[in-house]
Structure formats: C-alpha cells, structure tokens
Structure 1
C-alpha cells in the first residue's frame, strides 16, 4: 500500500464514520490497520519497522529505521528519556 492508497483508505473510514455507517471503534480499527499496513509494507527506503519492548513507556512503540541501532535512537528520541528497552524487527 503506497502513501496515496493509505490516505484514501483513511479518508474512506472517516467518510463512513461521518455518514453514520460505522462507529468510532470501527473507524479506529480501520485507520490503525491502514497505518500498520503502510508502516510495515511500504517503507520509502531500506528501512523496516522495529517495535520497542521493555520499559512501560517504550513498550509497543514502532519506528522505521535502517537498523537496530537507528531504531533504538529513534525510540529514545521520541521518549526523550533514558529508559531500558530493546528493539526487534516487526514481522
């Protein structure tokens, strides 16, 4: 799924919600699914998705990075904190 397709799918979910065809939870699920698909299937370069685990604040954060060390740096920058966490490729 490329960026344009992702945006269209998010717009479709918003439009369905506005027309009352779906509820908020369904819209959230659809949008989250679009974002996860985009992040894991269509990186713009040689990057891939990595998920952080360990410290509660870091647990579950997903970033795109070219490697494990870059992923650790990106998660650390997002949290702006010195936490103990690991990163692993998202599959």
Structure 2
C-alpha cells in the first residue's frame, strides 16, 4: 500500500465517522488496520522492525532501512539504549 492509498483510506474512515456510519472504536480499528497494512506492505527501501526486551520497547514497530537504524529509532523514541529488534511480521 502506498502513502496516497493509505491516506485515502484514513480519509474514508474519518468521513464514515463524521457521517455517523460508524462509531469511534470501529473507526480506530479501521485506521489501525490501515497503518498495519501500510507498514507491512510498504513499497520502498524500509522494512518494518519490531522491538523486544525492556517493557518500554516491547512490541514497538518502526520502519527502517537496517537493523542498526531500527535500534536507533526505537532507542530515540523511548530514550532507551539496550534495544533488540527483528524483522516484523505484522500480518
């Protein structure tokens, strides 16, 4: 899924919420599914990486070009230095 398609799908979810065709929880689920699909099917030089280890990082997913870059991105997000990452299978 490319960025434009993801944005279009999020816009449709918001429009459905505004029109009363869905509730907030359903809209949130839809948007989360869109983001998960975007990260999983990302068509570019980046890969989805899932962090593990310390509870502060457990399960965080970032897009990065390498394992080292993924560790750095996770560490910067949670101000943690000891971070392990692996290629994520989100689906």
TM-score exceeds 0.5: yes
TM-score normalised by L of structure 1: 0.89
Alignment of 1:3-42 (within 5 A): 3-42=3-42
Provide the aligned length of Structure 1 versus Structure 2: 89
2:67 maps to: 68
Rounded Cα–Cα distance in structure 2 between residues aligned with 1:42 and 1:53: 21
Unaligned 5+ runs, structure 1: none
CA distance in 2, matches of 1:28, 1:43: 24
Q: Does 1:80 align with 2:79?
A: yes
| Aligned counterparts of 1:57 and 1:66: Cα–Cα separation in 2 | 22
| Consecutive unaligned residues in structure 2, runs of 5 or more | none
Compute the displacement of 1:81 (Å): 2.9
Output the aligned Cα RMSD. Answer: 1.2
- Aligned partner of residue 52 in structure 1, secondary structure: strand
1:44 to partner: Cα distance: 2.7
Local SS of the residue matching 1:32: helix
Distance in 2, matches of 1:10 and 1:48, equals 22
- The 8 Å contact of residues 49 and 89 in structure 1, kept in 2 or not, is answered as yes
The structural deviation recorded for 1:43 is 4.1
